[in-house]
Amino acid sequence: MVNRAASSYVAALAALGLCGVAGCALRPAPDLFPQRLPASLAADAPLAVVGDLQQTSAFVLKVMHREETAAEQDRLIEDLRARKDELAGLVIVGDLVFTAASKSDWRRFDELVGPLAGEIPILPAIGNHDYYCVFVQKCLHNVVPKSFRLRFPWFAPGTPHMVAYGKIALLFLDTETDLAAQGRWLETELDSLESSYRAALVFFHRPPFTNAVTRGSVPDEAVQAEIVPRLRASALTTVVIAGHVHGYEHFVVDGIHYITSGGGGGPRAMLGAERPNDVYAGPDCVRDEAGEVRRPFNYLLIEPRRDEMEITVRGLCKTDAAVHVIETFTVPFASADAVN
């Protein structure tokens, strides 16, 4: 008997046209993922971004009374997958799974992302849950689990990389290890990009700013020290997208947009009653008597235009009938004179 995850995955393979006339054999999931990092993405199509797809273990759900989110995750990712024919690629800002050594967690990941992986590039920025960890926080940041390497063999710990997206540079950092060296790389890379790019999208897992009050969801001091000053010094228009905090936040600090899109399916964090620098004006899902809020599950669609990029955030609360737009804003590109 084939289990539910395997049945769903076979259906996904069938949808991708990977079944022969004799039926659909279960093809190894990693075969769907690109074996090389693409040098560039199609510049005339939107880029999707999602974070924190992990599903918390049953033990944690019961012991810590975290919220059940599988149904909302299925609805969100179904809405994202419905757009696969119009996307340039999908970026995942970390925590692809809850336990990196868990085969069942990776089966769940393949069930969610497999139908996309066969058609568009999948580009992850690794998160803390994606390394080998003991009790989540004790992690081996020099050891990439086999399941991660099978799907993304080009990834190396602490090694940043760049992918071109028209006149936007996509820069990926690993906030779990060796940020000082990556900060120096970022400074050099941003300087070199100013002559040929109008903007940079910087992706990593741990956000430098958050108003979360949930345990473990704090502003990352290393990112503040090693990465933020390099971003401020660049003439390029820069947008930073992180995950880790489950939900959605949108900060503007020193003219730079910092987006936390960790709403891909993990139990959501509560944000404090005071939310400095957060410019989000969309709907909240929960607001308690103290003024603390919980934001929608979400993913982003980024669409380059002639002189700006438009960022649309789609999401849902548990009580919503369907996934819908929760925020849309534009970010103007730096002028050619400002860059050069």
- Angle, helices 103-117 vs 70-81, to 10°: value is 20
Find residue 327's DSSP bridge partners: 313
Asked if residue 163 is part of any domain, the answer here is yes
- Summarize the chain as % helix, strand, coil (round to 5): 25, 25, 50
Amino acid at 165: Y
| Dihedrals phi, psi of 135, to nearest 5 degrees | 55, 40
Find residue 329's DSSP bridge partners: 311
Whole-number Å distance between alpha carbons of 303 and 4: 35
What is the CA 50 to chain-centroid distance, rounded?
4
Asked if residue 12 is part of any domain, the answer here is no
Q: What CATH number is associated with residue 289?
A: 3.60.21.10
- What is the rounded radius of gyration, in angstroms, for the C-alpha atoms of the chain? 19
> What DSSP designation does 247 have?
S
Q: What is this structure's pTM?
A: 0.87
pLDDT of the residue at 34 = 79
Asked if residue 289 is part of any domain, the answer here is yes
State yes or no: pLDDT of 264 exceeds 90: yes
Q: pLDDT tens-digit profile of 117-143?
A: 989 999 999 998 898 765 555 555 667
Range(s) of the domain holding residue 138: 33-339
- Average pLDDT (157-185) is 95
Q: pLDDT tens-digit profile of 6-41?
A: 444 444 444 444 433 333 333 446 678 878 899 999
H-state helical runs in the chain = 4-15, 58-64, 70-81, 103-117, 146-151, 179-193, 221-226, 228-232, 336-339
CA atoms within 13 A on the CB side of 120: 26
> What DSSP designation does 272 have?
P
pLDDT of the residue at 292 = 93
Find residue 326's DSSP bridge partners: none
Q: What spatial distance separates the first Cα and last Cα of the chain, rounded to whole Å?
A: 63
Give, in degrees to the nearest 5, the angle at Cα 27 between 121 and 97: 55
The share of the chain scoring above pLDDT 70, in percent, equals 83
pLDDT of the residue at 263 = 95
Asked if residue 26 is part of any domain, the answer here is no
- Average pLDDT (204-232) is 90
Give, in degrees to the nearest 5, the angle at Cα 311 between 185 and 340: 45
Asked if residue 69 is part of any domain, the answer here is yes
Q: At 59, list the tokens.
A: 């033990």
State yes or no: pLDDT of 84 exceeds 80: yes
pLDDT of the residue at 101 = 84
pLDDT band at 275 (very low <50, low <70, confident <90, very high): very high
- Average pLDDT (275-289) is 93
Asked if residue 5 is part of any domain, the answer here is no
Q: pLDDT tens-digit profile of 51-71?
A: 999 877 666 656 555 678 889
CA atoms within 13 A on the CB side of 311: 22
Asked if residue 21 is part of any domain, the answer here is no
- Average pLDDT (211-217) is 80
pLDDT of the residue at 61 = 57
Cβ neighbours, 10 Å, residue 26? 11
Whole-number Å distance between alpha carbons of 206 and 154: 21
| Dihedrals phi, psi of 132, to nearest 5 degrees | -70, 120
Whole-number Å distance between alpha carbons of 292 and 265: 20
Asked if residue 53 is part of any domain, the answer here is yes
| Structural domain count of the chain | 1
Cβ neighbours, 10 Å, residue 329? 17
Q: At 101, list the tokens.
A: 């050594």
Residue 114's alpha-carbon distances to 71, 77, 109, 152, 212, in angstroms, are 18, 11, 8, 13, 31
Q: At 106, list the tokens.
A: 């990776």
